[in-house]
């Protein structure tokens, strides 16, 4: 299904074209090409929409569902807007059809910054036009003005928006300085952030095995569509190997996109990249300033941005000349987008590769079952890196059976660290090495209950307990963000001093660790304590410089970090995540634990991993200590095959939600009553969704399960088209739900 750019289809005056708007509307609208204009598919045009005007993309010939006399004329092409490539348009149609989303909502992922379409004003930035003294003679140097002059004195021209942000002032301050002649405007044509990676920098000398792997990837460039799994234990050099493929793509003048699960955690990766390629990649994520997003979008669309790294949405940018797609940590659940257009970025990356006729590389130490089965079926290729680079050995794993040796209480209250783990930490610190404690739970305690009346503190908007964050003195709902100061009295019975924290979060483990190891320098790391990129960079520096002895944190610590002195990893609750009956619970826990374990012993000293558990015989824990991922996956696959569960069967989740429980329930019941009857198709539910109330909305869920041969989208379209529901009720469809 590779898209070959077809000869442009030209639409002349008076012809009718379909224009798709980047808005969550049902479909494209017909417009007439006005006198004296002509357009081709992919052109960005301005169109009237009701009383407004919008920018949209010419999608193809008109659909003719509006009487000719009533068709409005489009207003004209947007001068200087890049034309949307055919492959981008096909991707929009494909994703919309697969995920049952409005095409316009998908288009909005391709064009997320409407302003980027307008021709950019010639970019310019500011530099000082005179020294401070001279400036002081012209106007009063308020602190705000001084800050601006301080920032510009570094000699790097910054745009108004960037300068305002850097100096913490409004743009009027900059305007004032410019009008007084204190600042001068310079062209930003050759700016720092436009310096691009090039493929001519030499990389490290690869080992023979790494070279073999790199060769397969490099040879796939320019050879049409392919998907290759790059599998290798943590520390085996997967990143170095796919860097070789990036270098080769750059030498061929191709663009590359690298999808990563969490862009804020890529500080170390970005440094490595810049070191390897002489310039940082372009980044794409939600925290870029609007000006930056606009520039990056244009640079991608015009082919100037050579390598883009980003979270899911980077996949949808309108690359002018994309030649390689890389999905790092392809097994990560974070690639599943759960709101708006619901899609899995890894799966859509393969689709994009296929549409564009280009190679896709999926990298992981613990690939998803889906990917492993695709390799077995011969749909994907696989290259292996079986050992750690440079003789580093994999850490030694063992289980601490908490039933036999439970943690002991102390001055700090109940304990969470078993004697074996405490001893191991002590030994590690005494040897001048670093240790890490992992617990995938933010906050101090996951549950607060009243000892007097048994009341549990619950979120007012969700079916969820409030989590105590003691450092901030607050109770927080991890689902909707609801926050309240921790009360002293029980809100139910009014007794004071009876509220008790139940169970551990990372803050509580840190409290115990600080009490047990008072000399150790402890850092607590969780997504809510992490701070911005600068704080992350500082933390990484401190750990690398051995200014930290003991790292305690959630899964943000599990991902990709490389600390040579870290030799001990303690998993405080290896059972967490195994309960709950979710389809992927075992797989996900295995992947997460493997990843955490992979932080240990990456340098010269060997590492070890201690897993605290109440169920040491669980297959996931047994797989961890035998390090036999293949066997674990086989068992897991067999279980799912027998039940016809994904990836052997197909699932679609339908969640009905709304503020009125009765209205939601009746829509859910009606859905069930009209459910499609086809051979092999089962409907489960309706039942209360796992979070029965979320952000004040009541939620019911139905699951459709079907054999792989059934085209579920067709069934779903028919089914949904029969539904009528009150405007307060929403029906959300999730094809291939990630967790259920």
Is position 476 an interface residue for Zn ion (rule: CB under 5 A)? Answer: no
Is position 124 an interface residue for ligand ADP (rule: CB under 6 A)? Answer: no
Q: For the window 189-208, what string marks contact with ligand ADP as x by the rule CB under 6 A?
A: ---------------xxxx-
Using DSSP, state whether 299 is helix, strand or coil.
helix
User: What are the backbone dihedrals phi and psi of residue 669, each rounded to the nearest 5 degrees, phi first?
Assistant: -65, -40
Would you say 493 is a known binding-site residue? yes
Return all residues near 353 (Cβ < 8 A) that are at least 6 apart. Answer: 225, 226, 227, 325, 359, 360
Q: Judged by CB under 6 A, how many residues of this single chain contact ligand ADP?
A: 15
199 binds, among Zn ion, ligand ADP, none (CB under 5 to 8 A by kind): none
- Strands (DSSP E) contained in 554-681 are 566-571, 608-613, 649-658
Would you say 453 is a known binding-site residue? yes
Is position 238 an interface residue for ligand ADP (rule: CB under 6 A)? Answer: yes
709/736 Cα distance (integer angstroms): 15
Give 655-702 as a DSSP string. EEEES-HHHHHHHHHHHHHT----TT-EEEEEEEEEEEEETTEEEEEE
644/651 Cα distance (integer angstroms): 10
- Please work out, in degrees rounded to the nearest 5, the angle formed at the alpha carbon of residue 518 by the alpha carbons of 512 and 519: 140
End-to-end Cα, the chain, rounded Å:
32
Q: Peptide bond preceding 477: is omega within 30 degrees of 0, i.e. cis?
A: no
Query: Which of 320-352 are b and which e, b meaning 16 or more Cβ less than 10 Å from the residue's Cβ?
Result: bebbbbbbbbbbbbbbbbeeebbbbbbbbbbbb
290 binds, among ligand ADP, Zn ion, none (CB under 5 to 8 A by kind): none
Instruction: Identify the DSSP state of 201.
Output: S
Checking DSSP bridges between strand 434-438 and strand 566-571, what pairing results, if any?
parallel
- Applying CB under 5 A, the span of 167-175, 273-281, 434-442, 469-477 interacting with Zn ion comes to 469-477
Answer for which of 461, 498, 713, 723 binds Zn ion (CB under 5 A) is 461
Per the CB < 8 A criterion, the answer to whether 700 and 656 are in contact is yes
Per the CB < 8 A criterion, the answer to whether 651 and 737 are in contact is yes
Q: Facing residues of 496 across strands?
A: 489
Return all residues near 418 (Cβ < 8 A) that are at least 6 apart. Answer: 400, 402, 405, 406, 407, 612
- Applying CB under 6 A, the span of 113-121, 159-167, 238-246, 630-638 interacting with ligand ADP comes to 238-246
Q: Which is nearer to ligand ADP, 269 or 465 (CB)?
A: 269
Answer for which of 470, 562, 670, 695 binds ligand ADP (CB under 6 A) is 562
238 binds, among Zn ion, ligand ADP, none (CB under 5 to 8 A by kind): ligand ADP
Q: Which is nearer to ligand ADP, 394 or 652 (CB)?
A: 394
Rounded least distance, CB 562 to ligand ADP, Å: 5
Q: Which is nearer to Zn ion, 373 or 466 (CB)?
A: 466
210 binds, among Zn ion, ligand ADP, none (CB under 5 to 8 A by kind): ligand ADP
Would you say 480 is a known binding-site residue? yes
Is position 675 an interface residue for Zn ion (rule: CB under 5 A)? Answer: no
- Applying CB under 5 A, the span of 243-251, 420-428, 480-488, 604-612 interacting with Zn ion comes to 480-488
Is position 240 an interface residue for ligand ADP (rule: CB under 6 A)? Answer: yes
Q: Which is nearer to Zn ion, 80 or 481 (CB)?
A: 481
Answer for which of 55, 239, 337, 657 binds ligand ADP (CB under 6 A) is 239
Q: Facing residues of 38 across strands?
A: 12
461 binds, among Zn ion, ligand ADP, none (CB under 5 to 8 A by kind): Zn ion
Using DSSP, state whether 324 is helix, strand or coil.
strand
Q: For residue 374, give the nearest of 545, 227, 505 by alpha carbon.
A: 227
Per the CB < 8 A criterion, the answer to whether 170 and 164 are in contact is yes
Answer for which of 55, 152, 227, 234 binds ligand ADP (CB under 6 A) is 234
Q: Which is nearer to Zn ion, 215 or 482 (CB)?
A: 482
Q: For residue 514, give the nearest of 627, 429, 613 by alpha carbon.
A: 429
Answer for which of 197, 334, 477, 667 binds Zn ion (CB under 5 A) is 477
Rounded least distance, CB 261 to ligand ADP, Å: 14
Would you say 502 is a known binding-site residue? no
Q: Which is nearer to Zn ion, 568 or 691 (CB)?
A: 691
Is position 558 an interface residue for ligand ADP (rule: CB under 6 A)? Answer: no
Q: Where are the alpha helices (DSSP H) in 31-170?
A: 86-99, 103-110, 132-138, 143-152, 160-167
Q: Which is nearer to ligand ADP, 236 or 255 (CB)?
A: 236
Residue linked to tokens 């599943």: 336
Rounded least distance, CB 704 to Zn ion, Å: 28
Would you say 477 is a known binding-site residue? yes
Answer for which of 480, 548, 557, 620 binds Zn ion (CB under 5 A) is 480
- Applying CB under 6 A, the span of 235-243, 329-337, 434-442, 446-454 interacting with ligand ADP comes to 235-243
What tokens appear for 508 in the block? 């509580």
Is position 360 an interface residue for ligand ADP (rule: CB under 6 A)? Answer: no
Rounded least distance, CB 480 to Zn ion, Å: 3
Rounded least distance, CB 67 to Zn ion, Å: 50
735 binds, among ligand ADP, Zn ion, none (CB under 5 to 8 A by kind): none
575 binds, among ligand ADP, Zn ion, none (CB under 5 to 8 A by kind): none
Q: Is 696 exposed, middle or buried (0-12, 13-18, 19+ CB in 10 A)?
A: middle
Rounded least distance, CB 698 to Zn ion, Å: 13
Rounded least distance, CB 152 to Zn ion, Å: 45
Is position 459 an interface residue for Zn ion (rule: CB under 5 A)? Answer: yes
User: What are the backbone dihedrals phi and psi of residue 69, each rounded to the nearest 5 degrees, phi first?
Assistant: -65, -25
Per the CB < 8 A criterion, the answer to whether 253 and 245 are in contact is no
Is position 482 an interface residue for Zn ion (rule: CB under 5 A)? Answer: yes
Query: Taking the alpha carbons of 305, 311, 314, 315 in that order, is the dihedral positive or negative?
Result: positive
Answer for which of 22, 103, 125, 232 binds ligand ADP (CB under 6 A) is 232
Per the CB < 8 A criterion, the answer to whether 78 and 44 are in contact is yes
Would you say 725 is a known binding-site residue? no
- Please work out, in degrees rounded to the nearest 5, the angle formed at the alpha carbon of residue 737 by the alpha carbons of 732 and 740: 100
Binding-site residue ranges = 450, 453, 459, 462, 477, 480, 490, 493
Q: Contact positions toward Zn ion, by CB under 5 A?
A: 459, 461-462, 477, 479-480, 482
Q: What does the binding site for ligand ADP look like in residue numbers (CB under 6 A)?
A: 204-207, 210, 232, 234-240, 389, 562
- Annotated binding-site residues for Zn(2+) read 450, 453, 459, 462, 477, 480, 490, 493
């Amino acid at each position: 299904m590779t898209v070959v750019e077809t000869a442009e289809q030209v639409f002349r005056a008076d012809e009718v074209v379909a224009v798709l708007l980047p808005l969550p509307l049902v479909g494209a609208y017909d417009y007439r090409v006005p006198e004296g204009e002509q357009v081709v598919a992919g052109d960005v045009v301005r169109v009237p929409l009701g009383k407004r005007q919008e920018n949209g993309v010419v999608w193809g010939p008109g659909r003719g569902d509006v009487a000719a006399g009533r068709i409005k004329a489009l207003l004209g092409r947007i001068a200087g807007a890049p034309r949307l490539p055919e492959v981008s348009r096909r991707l929009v149609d494909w994703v919309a059809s697969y995920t049952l989303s409005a095409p316009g909502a998908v288009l909005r992922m391709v064009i997320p910054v409407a302003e980027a379409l307008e021709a950019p004003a010639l970019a310019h930035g500011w530099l000082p036009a005179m020294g401070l003294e001279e400036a002081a003679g012209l106007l009063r140097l308020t602190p705000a003005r001084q800050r601006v002059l301080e920032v510009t004195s570094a000699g790097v021209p910054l745009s108004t928006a960037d300068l305002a942000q850097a100096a913490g002032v409004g743009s009027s301050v900059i305007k004032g300085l410019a009008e007084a002649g204190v600042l001068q405007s310079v062209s930003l044509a050759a700016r720092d952030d436009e310096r691009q990676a090039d493929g001519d920098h030499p990389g490290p000398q690869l080992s023979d095995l790494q070279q073999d792997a790199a060769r397969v990837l490099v040879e796939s460039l320019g050879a049409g569509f392919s998907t290759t799994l790059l599998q290798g234990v943590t520390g085996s050099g997967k990143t170095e190997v796919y860097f070789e493929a990036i270098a080769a793509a750059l030498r061929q003048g191709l663009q590359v996109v690298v999808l990563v699960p969490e862009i804020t955690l890529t500080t170390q990766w970005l440094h490595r990249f810049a070191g390897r390629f002489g310039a940082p990649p372009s980044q794409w994520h939600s925290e870029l300033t609007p000006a930056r997003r606009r520039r990056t979008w244009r640079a991608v669309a015009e082919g100037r941005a050579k390598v883009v790294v980003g979270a899911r949405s980077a996949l949808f940018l309108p690359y002018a000349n994309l030649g390689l797609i890389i999905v790092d940590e392809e097994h990560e659940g974070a690639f599943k987008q759960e709101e708006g257009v619901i899609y899995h970025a890894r799966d859509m990356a393969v689709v994009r590769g296929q549409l564009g006729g280009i190679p896709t590389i999926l990298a992981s130490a613990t690939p998803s079952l889906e990917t492993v089965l695709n390799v077995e079926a011969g749909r994907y290729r696989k290259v292996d890196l079986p050992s750690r680079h440079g003789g580093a050995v994999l850490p030694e794993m063992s289980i601490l059976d908490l039933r036999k040796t439970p943690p002991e209480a102390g001055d700090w209250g109940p304990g969470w660290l078993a004697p074996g783990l405490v001893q191991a930490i002590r030994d590690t610190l005494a040897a001048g090495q670093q240790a890490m404690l992992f617990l995938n739970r933010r906050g101090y305690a996951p549950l607060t209950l009243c000892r007097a009346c048994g009341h549990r503190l619950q979120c007012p908007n969700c079916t969820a307990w409030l989590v105590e964050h003691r450092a901030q003195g607050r109770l927080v709902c991890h689902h909707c963000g609801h926050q309240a100061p921790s009360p002293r009295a029980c809100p139910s019975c009014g007794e004071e001093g009876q509220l008790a924290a139940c169970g551990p979060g990372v803050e509580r483990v840190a409290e115990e660790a600080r009490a047990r190891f008072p000399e150790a320098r402890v850092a607590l790391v969780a997504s809510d304590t992490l701070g911005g990129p600068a704080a992350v960079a500082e933390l990484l520096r401190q750990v690398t410089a051995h200014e930290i002895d003991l790292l305690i944190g959630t899964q943000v610590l599990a991902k990709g970090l490389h600390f040579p002195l870290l030799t001990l990893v303690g998993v405080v609750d290896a059972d967490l995540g195994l309960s709950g009956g979710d389809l992927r619970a075992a797989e996900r826990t295995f992947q997460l634990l493997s990843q955490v374990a992979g932080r240990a012993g990456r340098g010269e000293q060997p590492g070890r991993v201690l897993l605290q558990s109440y169920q040491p015989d669980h297959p996931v824990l047994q797989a961890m200590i035998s390090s036999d991922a293949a066997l674990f996956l086989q068992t897991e696959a067999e279980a799912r095959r027998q039940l016809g569960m994904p990836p052997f069967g197909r699932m679609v989740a339908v969640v009905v939600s709304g503020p009125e429980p009765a209205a939601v329930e009746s829509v859910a019941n009606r859905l069930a009553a009209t459910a499609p009857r086809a051979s092999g198709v089962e409907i489960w539910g309706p039942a209360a969704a796992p979070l029965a109330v979320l952000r004040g909305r009541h939620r019911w869920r139905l699951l459709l399960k079907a054999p792989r041969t059934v085209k579920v989208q067709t069934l779903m379209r028919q089914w949904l088209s029969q539904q009528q529901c009150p405007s307060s009720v929403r029906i959300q469809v999730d094809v291939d739900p990630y967790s259920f």
